Amino acid sequence: MRKYYTDWKTIIIVFAIGLALWIFGASGKAEGVVLLNGSLMVGIPIALIALLSTKYSYVAISGNTLKFVYVLFYRRTIDINSITEINDQPTYKAAKSAFRSLYIFYKDKNDTIKWIELRITIFPEKTLGRLIKDLKQINPRIELNKYSQKLMESAPE
Average pLDDT, the chain: 80
Predicted confidence (pLDDT) at residue 104 exceeds the cutoff of 50: yes
Predicted confidence (pLDDT) at residue 110 exceeds the cutoff of 80: yes
- Per-residue pLDDT tens over the stretch 3-37: 887 776 766 776 777 677 666 655 555 554 455 55
SS3 at position 93? coil
With CA atoms as reference, report the closest residue to 80 among 36, 140, 31.
140
List phi, psi (to 5°) of 127: -65, -45
Give percent of the chain with pLDDT exceeding 70.
69
Q: Which helix H or strand E contains 18, and what residues bound it?
A: helix 8-26
The class level of CATH for 71-153 reads mainly beta
Predicted confidence (pLDDT) at residue 140 exceeds the cutoff of 90: yes
> Are the beta carbons of 122 and 136 closer than 8 angstroms?
no
Q: What is the DSSP letter of 57?
A: -
Could you tell me which residue, 32 or 137, shows the higher pLDDT?
A: 137
Please, where in the chain does CATH 2.30.29 lie? Answer: 71-153
pLDDT at site 33: 47
Check the CA dihedral 29-33-38-39 and report its sign.
Answer: positive
Residues ≥6 apart with Cβ < 8 Å to 143: 84, 85, 86
- Per-residue pLDDT tens over the stretch 36-79: 556 666 666 766 666 666 667 889 999 999 999 876 677 889 99
Distance CA 116, CA 139 (A): 17
SS3 at position 29? coil
Q: Which helix H or strand E contains 83, and what residues bound it?
A: strand 83-90
